[in-house]
Structure 1
Amino acid sequence: MTTDTTQSDTTQSDTAQTAPVRFDTKIAVILREDLETWQRLNVTAFLVSGLGTHHPEVIGEPYADADGTPYLPMFRQPVMVFEGTKEMLTAAHGRALSRDLPRSLFTSDLFTTGNDRDNRAAVRTVPGDQLDLVGMAVYGPRNAVDKVLKGARMHP
């Protein structure tokens, strides 16, 4: 009887470890469709960089290779990247604000600054409804993030 229970527990454990993980939250980035490739990559990196500092639950465990060399932890779940028009990004920004979801933004002005202090100053000078958004990251419950991104398409 004990052997059967152990085998059953092992089988359930193996199944749990191989079953796909579905998260109830979503990390998503929406980029304006008219950005150049280097801008898309740069904006995406900047947008997600602060997420783990305010929401440490999105960060997984550190990595190590077979030699024991340590590597930094990464997000525990995928980052979904979308694209849309300038108008779509503005609408998504408004929906993220109305749902009070954690978000970060990147405006066109930030392409002309060279440091974090000037980046913050550039955003601070523009009212929220007049920001020239080129990208936004949002995190929250999957269904709420999906509503924020309504109409956006997956980045190719």
Structure 2
Amino acid sequence: MSFSTKIAVVVRDDLPTWQRLNVCAFLVSGVAAAVPELIGDAYEDADGTKYLAMFGQPVLVFEAAAAVLTAAHRKALDRGLPMSVFTKELFTTGNDEDNRAAVRAVPQDQLDLVGLAVHGPRNAVDKIVKGARMHP
């Protein structure tokens, strides 16, 4: 099945695995919150046990060096696409309010990005993540 839009997550390639997974989880929650129509129907197994709904399309996860991540951030901003960001400072905070304050304290061009997620037209997202490679 082909989709007209794409969800992509880019995480910095120098993070430990646990941080990459944590960053990815937080970032996709931002896409889900901003674009709820991307969420499919709830799941149910053969026994009738109910499960939460998830994205109705694939999420592509990439890794990249810091410079590529910064370039992707700039491209997403230039194209006006919705984006969630995760900065290095968020590893030191313990709640949502402090997370937002940590991002708010840093100018856009000085964010120490460790990840971002973006949703938009396939070709635009492809251009944004150019230089990143699929996460192994």
What TM-score, normalized by structure 2, do the two folds share?
A: 0.98
- Paired position in structure 1 for 2:134: 154
- Paired position in structure 2 for 1:78: 58
- Paired position in structure 2 for 1:25: 5
Q: Give the SS at the match of 2:119.
A: strand
Deviation of 1:50 (Å):
2.2
The answer on 1:108 being equivalent to 2:88 is: yes
Distance 1:29 1:140 in 2: 12
- Paired position in structure 2 for 1:43: 23
Q: Give the SS at the match of 1:50.
A: helix
Moved over 3 A (4+): none
Stretches of structure 2 that go unaligned for 5 or more consecutive residues are none
Stretches of structure 1 that go unaligned for 5 or more consecutive residues are 1-20
Distance 2:12 2:33 in 1: 25
Distance 1:85 1:130 in 2: 16
| Structure with more contact order per residue of length (Cα contacts < 8 Å, sep ≥ 6) | 2
Matches within 5 A, 1:113-152: 113-152=93-132
- What is the root-mean-square deviation in Å for CA atoms of aligned residues? 0.6
Distance 1:99 1:135 in 2: 18
- Paired position in structure 1 for 2:39: 59
The answer on 1:97 being equivalent to 2:77 is: yes
Count of matched residue positions in the alignment of Structure 1 and Structure 2? 136
One-letter amino acid of the structure 2 residue matched with residue 114 of structure 1: G
Distance 1:23 1:90 in 2: 26
Among the aligned pairs, what percent are the same residue?
A: 70
What TM-score, normalized by structure 1, do the two folds share?
A: 0.86
